[in-house]
Structure 1
Amino acid sequence: MEQRVTGWVGWVWFGAFALLSVGLFNLITGLIAVFDEDKLLAWSPGSGAYVVDISTWGWVHLFLGLLLTCTGFALFAAATWARVVAIIAVLASIVWNFFWLPVTPWWSLAIIVLGAFVLWALTVHGDEVERAVR
């Protein structure tokens, strides 16, 4: 029995493009920060001030950018592992933006809603991507 491909595959493609875009931006900012020798003074209300090396922040963003970019390309190719990584990334984004609701309510709400659609498409209709690629 042939199963049909629904329009939800478009949301999977949207998720793949979003991962690819965010990954590329993280790669660029990570590369810039890796070669920057500046220090950043950060303030935490509970523990006071501390100095953060921007290059360390850059290496983290460089690694995350590489992971998200590879995941975005693999999601376009309908790789199963990419769906798993994308689901984890979308869940992390939703949780992260939930904590930022008091600071940026409209932006966080928009990201949470978009993330919910992409999460639904990845979990429920993710297997349709394989049929759409064939």
Structure 2
Amino acid sequence: MSETTSTKQGWTEGVSLGAAIIMVTVGIIQFFQGVAAVAKNEVFVVGIQYVYKFDLTTWGWIHIVLGVIVAAVGFALFTGAGWARVSAIVVAAISIIANFLWIPYYPWWSILIIALDVVVIWAVSTWKPAAA
């Protein structure tokens, strides 16, 4: 293994651990976002009506469940286990879809979370813990 490969792998490992931190943080924030939507529907202003519209209570519960799952997988990602990495990619992809559908309610937040989920997928898919 060349020095360039190990340096690149070290950088990727650092970004992947950062991805785990991002997942935990995003999961916690999505949980609280869901609580806000369930507790008080007036917190969010609905813009353009879309075909896939749910009421805010339903979206709140979706974000609560998704937030718990994202945070749990983020914590598991710290172990570097193969199942945790695969789960992180799948959960981040589901989070992208959920936040795309959430755009009418909170557009800037949704776009930010989609971008962070893309970073998580990239980081986790390029990380090879056995090579480190």
Shared fold, TM over 0.5: yes
Residue 6 of structure 1 is matched in structure 2 by 10
TM-score (norm 2): 0.62
The partner residue of 1:44 within 36, 39, 49 is 49
In terms of fraction of residues, the more helix-rich structure is 2
Between the aligned partners of 2:45 and 2:126, the Cα distance in structure 1 is 43
Please report how far the alpha carbon of residue 35 of structure 1 lies from its aligned counterpart in structure 2 after TM superposition: 2.4
Residue 39 of structure 2 is matched in structure 1 by 35
Q: Identity of counterpart residues, as a percentage?
A: 28
The partner residue of 1:83 within 67, 79, 85 is 85
Q: Which residues in structure 2 correspond to 1:88-103 (within 5 Å)? A: 88-91=90-93, 93=96
Call closer, same or farther: CA 1:115–1:40 in 2, change over 3 Å: closer
Structure 1: gaps (5+ residues):
none
In terms of fraction of residues, the more strand-rich structure is 1
TM-score (norm 1): 0.61
Structure 2: gaps (5+ residues):
1-5
1:75-102 alpha-carbon deviations (Å, 9 max, x no partner): 01223222112212444539x77xx9xx
How many residues in Structure 1 have an aligned counterpart in Structure 2?
A: 114
Call closer, same or farther: CA 1:53–1:124 in 2, change over 3 Å: closer
